[in-house]
Structure formats: structure tokens, C-alpha cells
Chains A and B, each alone.
Chain A
């Protein structure tokens, strides 16, 4: 798989704040990439460098193998965290204008606006002023403005904030569809459960430093704590042993932690040898949320 973006030692400083400190990572082509970090970590700065709003002080960024400086605005669609459009402008006109600014012809922009409004069940909004729409509707219009020019890379900063569950689901499905059509999506958030659900690959930054990067499943594997959950048909008989210790137990179910990572089978043999009947057995992988909190806390103590 090719990398669509590559960051090499990128740094950016604002008078008294080091917003990005020597950041290097890559974004594989056609992934849904989670850009994570607490508020003020440097996510927005990084995005603004990608969208060419700022330039980095040092380091190199390539987009599709090209230096970012030569990259076309038309390749990127960006939906900022703080959403906004011209309040007094009509939806149709506004979408055409924003599409044209991205390099579409007027005709193409009109075609795309109509297509998307229709797709999101909003065909009758064309002549409505934005200020006359509800907040959720405005956000849909904003999403259309972001994808209207069919960008290779889509950057969504907290795209679901302020959306009701129905509309959030609708937008989520659109994101999946775009992904299937080959679009790479950078999804910036601090809501971990969304990341776990949507993203394949992530980068976690904190205070301008990259602290975690890679495939979500792989990250979970490396950060796992060898916790297992075992359920029995009745309250199990377990003695003190060298293999594991019990973390919690409630009725027929126990949570245990292996002392030796590679001793799954021994554990099962031990439990069976005690005359217990196992009804369920699975490994508890850490949530990204836990990994995130642990790493951020650890970084703070350092």
C-alpha cells in the first residue's frame, strides 16, 4: 500500500508555544486515519499545515509523492471543527461558489451540488438561506461543501459534533462510501469510541509530540495487558497458582491476568483440570481510550 502523505520531522512554533515538535509519520493511501489528541495537542495546527493555511517552520511534508507546497487545493476537502458558511447566502449558490473556489467549473459545481443535496434528502434547500436551516441541516450542507470537488483526501475535524444520531449515522455511511471509492480520510477527534469504530490507522499527538502511531489492531496487541474473561456454568473452583491472578470475580464469571503472556493453553488445561465447565472465554483488549489516557498521563509525568 502506498502512502498518500508523509511527514518528516515537521515542527511549527507560534511565538511562545511549540505547536508541533519534530513530528514524523505516514498516512497510507485509502485508509480512514484517526488523528487523535487532547485539546491543544496540535491537531488543528497539523491540519492547517496540510491545507496550506500555514507553512511548517521546518521538516518536509509530501502529498502523493509531491512536496506539499506544489499540491493543489483541489485535492483536499476540509471540514473544520468550527463549522460555518455564509449565513445570508442561499444554499445552492453557496455550494456552487465553494465548489468553484476548489477549482470546479460552474456547471460541474452545480451538478455536484444537486447530486449531493438529492442524495442527502435535501433537494428542496436550494433556494433557502443558510440561516433559515436548522443546525443539523447546516452541517449537512457543510459536509456537501467539503466533498463537492471529489477530493483525494478528506479532512474531517470532529464531524459528528452537534449532529443527532440519525444524521450522524447518515454522514458516517457517506464517509464509508467515499472510503470505498478510494478517498483517504483523516478523521480528527478526541472521541475514542468513534475512532475505534471507524478508523484503521491512527496517530496520537500530545503537546505537539507524536506519542503513538500505527494500525489500530496492532496497537491494541502491543498495548494489551493479557487480561481474559472466563465464564463457567457454576461458581468455579480456583486455587492459588503460578499461571494467573484474578482481577475481579462475580458469580460465575472471572476476569484474570496471565503472568506469562504465552500461556493460554496452560490456563485452559488448569481450569478444566479443576473440574470446571467453561462456557465462554475471551481476551480483553484495551480500549483506545484506555491506551490514550495511559499514554497521555505517562507523558505528563515525564
Chain B
């Protein structure tokens, strides 16, 4: 055991000390945050202030609300449209567009035009259409003597409360939030399996192609070496994730302090557009968030992370031992294993839509897909016995793949320059 610990130590320290690891760990969250806030930054950077001159012949509009970088001016309503059309781009330092509202009836608003030198954007046009329609709606309601509040009451908001019954108890369900959790956990495990599984494979290949392998296994058992490598790299993964979590928390605080007011303003403006309805959805989501046992999810996530990682890392180690020098063959050798992971992620995406199908059940039990599928299913409510069965299968599965991989690894790491047939692999399992 002592030697396994030495190997774990080396595998861990040499990787954690690498510049690429430190860089990736430090820049990972920055990169992630950039991706998530980039659209907002780009959108706001892209928004220019546009001045729009309005010529209203109908007399229905005295003003239009200035928002979203659009400023309206009714200053020259006295001039004719022909005069304005020729000059709007040079008047008062230049208007970007001329909105022309002819003599229209509130219930038949035809013939509205906008003139501009540069094509106005779709969002600007839709925005204009909306504010004009809003104004006309108010006028029409007044003309018909209808109270707006009455109209709203005539079409009440319908919401179906979604409850999950399991035996006696009953709990709040929320398909949207469950999907978010499910996807999130499934994807993270998928990424972990691929990144760190590949890292194990590369590590084995490095030892084989540098030929140090024979020196090492004259000091320790091949199985110890394989397990040391798998555990060491697993710890590297955990370190990286913990560092990311920590950095993201810090970055959140920093960004909150710097951009806090701006973000709040942004939220307000969206809330203003969406109205109260959206706020109540947020409140509701927060409420059902508290109904989700986050702590339990985290524990299950860890269990499936560890089980899944060991299961796949062992397979990747066995593949690494078969490849050795020929870098080009790596992808081909790894294909069967990466296929298993890819199929699992596709199943995961399907079962998040339909969580209670036979496919979902079996995929959450079979150890090759359960590490990705089960964490995605748990937020939808999975019976305790199913989780227990799945965990038992997963750990049995990882013990099985580890022993199997150990047998292949033992012989594979010493094989050079020889094409290995599948039939030979089976014979290796029975070597002394």
C-alpha cells in the first residue's frame, strides 16, 4: 500500500505542478465567465443610440417612450413629410431615421413607414411596432369604453401545480428546474470521464513508450501502478474542480461588486418589459429550488463521479497499455470506450425529456451509462431501491473493469511492435 501511495503522490504532484494545469485551473473560470457574460457585453456594446424623428399626421401620438437606445423627437411635426424626407439626416446634427405615421384610424393603422439611410435592425422595427400597437390598444379600449383591468381579468393566468406522489408522501415537482439540475450533473460527469479518462490513457502510454515501465514493475505490481495512476489523476480532477468552484465564487463576488448596479438595471429593464408575470416565475423557481435537496444531489454526484471515473479510467488504462508507441492508433483503440460515453450522454439527453421510461430505468442501472444517466434522473425523483441497485451495480462494475483492465494492462504494457488480436486479449486474462 505504501508504494501505491508513492505512485499516487508522483502522479498527482507532477501533474498539479505543470504550467498547463495551473494555467487551465486559473483561466478556466475566467474563460467560463467570459463565455457567459460575453453575449451581454457584446449586445450592449453593439447598441448605438438612435435618434428618430417622428412625423405624425394622425395626431394620435404626442410622445413615444424613449428606451433601449431609441430617442424620439416630434419637434418638426409642422413640416411636410416631403420636406423632412430630404433633410432628416442633416437636421439637428442628424437623425438616424424618420418615422412617418400618416392619417390612420386607431383600428386600421395602415401605411406607417420608416425611412433611414442605413437599414434599421429587426429588433428596432419590432420594438417600434410594439409601442405603436400598445398606444393604439389603449386608445381603442377607451373608445369602446372597456376598462383594461376588466379585460385582463377575462383571461386569467392558468398554472398547473405539479405534484409528485410517491407512496404516502407528496412533494412539489418542477420539471424545468429538475431538467436544469439533471443536464448540469450529467454533463459535468461526461466531461470528467472524457478529460481525466484520456489523461489516464496518455499517462500509461507515456510510461510504455518511454520504456520506464519495466523498471517500475520490477519494483511494484502492475496493478499497484495502474491503481496509483488512476487515483492520482482522479485527485488531480477533484483538485481542479474544487479550485474552479472556489475561483467562480470569488469571481462572482468581484463581478457583483463591479457590475452589480449595471446588472440590476439590466434586470429591471427586462422585468419592465416582461412585467410582473416574469418576476413571479422567478419567485416560484426560487421557492421550488428550496424543495430540491441540493446536499443529497451533491452526494449522489460524488458517488457517480467516483464510480464512473474508476470504471472508465480502468478501461482507458487498459487501452493505453495496448497502444504504446503508435500515437496514430490511439483514437481507434479508444473508440469503443468513447462510444460508450457518447451513447450514455445521448441517452441522458433523451431521458431528461422523458424520465420515467424503461430506457431511463435500464440506463440508470447498467454501470456503463449509469454514471451519466442517474445523476440526471435523480432530480426527477428516483425510488430509493433503484438508486441502491444502481450504486451496487456501478461499484460491482468498476471492480470488474478494474480487474479486467489490470489483466490486460499487465501484459499489454510489455508488448512492443506487435499487432494484438482480440482473441489474444482473452488469453491474457488467464496468464499467471
Contact = CB atoms under 8 A, between A and B. Distances in A.
Given A15-B424, A89-B14, A101-B6, A53 B214 contact: yes
Given A84-B212, A86-B210, A100-B6, A53 B218 contact: yes
B211 A80 contact: yes
Contacts of A48: 414
Interface string A250-286: 0000000000000000000000000000000000000
A56 B431 CA distance: 10
B215 A87 contact: no
Give the dominant DSSP class at B's interface. helix
Contacts of A76: 218
Name, among B14, B206, B212, B222, the residue most crowded by chain A CB atoms within 10 Å (CB to CB): B212
Interface in B393-418: 414, 416
Contacts of B210: 84-87
Name, among B214, B427, B432, the residue most crowded by chain A CB atoms within 10 Å (CB to CB): B214
A84 B215 contact: yes
Nearest to B214: A80
A86 B416 CA distance: 18
Nearest to A131: B210
Interface string B211-251: 11111111110100000000000000000000000000000
Given A73-B220, A88-B14, A97 B214 contact: no
A54 B220 CA distance: 12
B3 interface: yes
B218 A85 contact: no
A111 interface: no
A145 B218 CA distance: 12
A82 B431 contact: no
B414 A53 contact: yes
A78 interface: yes
A55 B432 contact: yes
A85 B424 contact: no
Interface in B187-221: 206-207, 210-220
Interface in A51-94: 51-57, 73, 76, 78-80, 82-89
A57 B424 contact: no
Contacts of B6: 97, 100-101
B51 interface: no
Nearest to B13: A93
A78 B219 CA distance: 9
Interface in A1-56: 14-15, 48, 51-56
A84 B207 CA distance: 9
Contacts of A97: 6, 10
A52 B432 CA distance: 11
A101 B432 contact: no
A66 B204 CA distance: 33
A236 B207 CA distance: 66
Contacts of A142: 215
Contacts of B432: 54-57
Contact of A101 (B3, B211, B213, B427): B3
B349 to A, nearest CB: 39
A102 interface: yes
Contacts of A83: 211
A98 interface: yes
Nearest to A83: B211
Interface string A101-129: 11000000000000000000000000000
15 contacts: A14-B431, A48-B414, A51-B218, A53-B218, A54-B431, A56-B432, A73-B219, A78-B214, A79-B215, A80-B211, A82-B211, A82-B416, A84-B215, A85-B210, A87-B210
Interface of B: 3, 6-7, 10, 14, 206-207, 210-220, 222, 414, 416, 424, 427, 431-432
Interface of A: 14-15, 48, 51-57, 73, 76, 78-80, 82-89, 97-98, 100-102, 142, 145-146
Going nearest first, the 5 A-B pairs with the smallest beta carbon separation are A84-B211, A51-B218, A55-B432, A101-B219, A80-B214
Given A53-B217, A53-B414, 12 more contacts: A52-B218, A73-B218, A73-B220, A78-B215, A79-B215, A80-B215, A80-B218, A86-B207, A87-B210, A98-B215, A101-B6, A101-B219
